Amino acid sequence: MPRLAVADNSRMSLRIPAEEKAILLRAAALRRTDLTDFVRQHSLRAAKTVIQEAEHLELSGRDSRRVLAVLENPPRPNAKLLAAAKSMPKRK
């Protein structure tokens, strides 16, 4: 289970096998940067990719046309939707 980030701590500990650390150190040296910057840059890039994939929905052409058609001509509300709308608290 992920732990919550501590707001006042900018450090992060990471335990990895020595072989993996050696690979990271070599890659950082080849990029002429230190290990911290190398790991930060690449992990942030990977994190942004994961977030983008989770938040982005790509529809096929057929599905896009279907969504647009429903938006332009929405179906009439059914009994369940009407009941749900009536059970909503009144807005002030």
CB 31 within 8 A of CB 45: no
* C-alpha to C-alpha distance for 25 and 13, rounded to whole angstroms: 16
Domain positions in the chain are: 18-75
Task: Give the model confidence (pLDDT) of 1-49 as tens digits.
Answer: 566 666 667 888 889 999 999 999 999 999 999 999 999 999 999 999 9
Task: Give the model confidence (pLDDT) of 42-87 as tens digits.
Answer: 999 999 999 999 999 899 999 999 999 999 999 999 999 999 999 9
* C-alpha to C-alpha distance for 23 and 29, rounded to whole angstroms: 10
Is the whole-model pTM more than 0.85? no
**66, 70, 86 from 61: Cα distances, Å:** 9, 14, 36
